[in-house]
Amino acid sequence: MEEKKDFSRIIEEVFTRDSRYKPDSYEFLMQSLAFTQKKLKRQGHISGRELLEGIREFAIDQYGPMAKTVLSHWGISKTRDFGNMVFNLIEEKVLSRTEEDSLDDFNDIYDFDSAFGNVLRNITI
């Protein structure tokens, strides 16, 4: 019986096959998924658009005005990049999809300059 691989080993294998996105970006993606499911009060499947909105909000929450820079450092510059990552994880059976789900669900949902360009973090003095 094959032992279930841990997440870091799976990501190493994904990165060997597709090195466009740094391994840390996959951890961020999974945290964003959990954040989005909690926000929507739903476990299980969410749409690509729902995930992308959750990613945007979570990135701003975590990285504030540096969100776009952090994502860029990881190799992510457009919403389709998150779709590529999701489908890499589907291929590894970390995530699943319905028949209606498509990589095209992640095409040009928002522009990164508009989504992350004018983020100000609330500073309390």
pLDDT in tens, 50-73: 999 999 999 999 999 999 999 999
The model's pTM is 0.89
- What is the average per-residue pLDDT within 9-29? 96
∠ CA 87-102-110, nearest 5°, is 90
- What is the average per-residue pLDDT within 75-86? 98
pLDDT value for 118:
77
pLDDT in tens, 26-45: 999 999 999 999 999 999 89
* Confidence label for 119 from pLDDT (cuts 50, 70 and 90): confident
Tokens of 88: 């890499």
∠ CA 89-117-81, nearest 5°, is 20
Q: What is the mean pLDDT of the chain?
A: 91
Tokens of 20: 């466009």
pLDDT value for 120:
66
Tokens of 32: 């964003």
| Of 27, 25, 45, 26, nearest in space to 36 by CA | 45
- Distance (Å, whole) CA 55 – CA 25: 11
- Distance (Å, whole) CA 87 – CA 20: 13
DSSP state of 48: H
Tokens of 84: 């590529």
- What is the average per-residue pLDDT within 13-22? 96
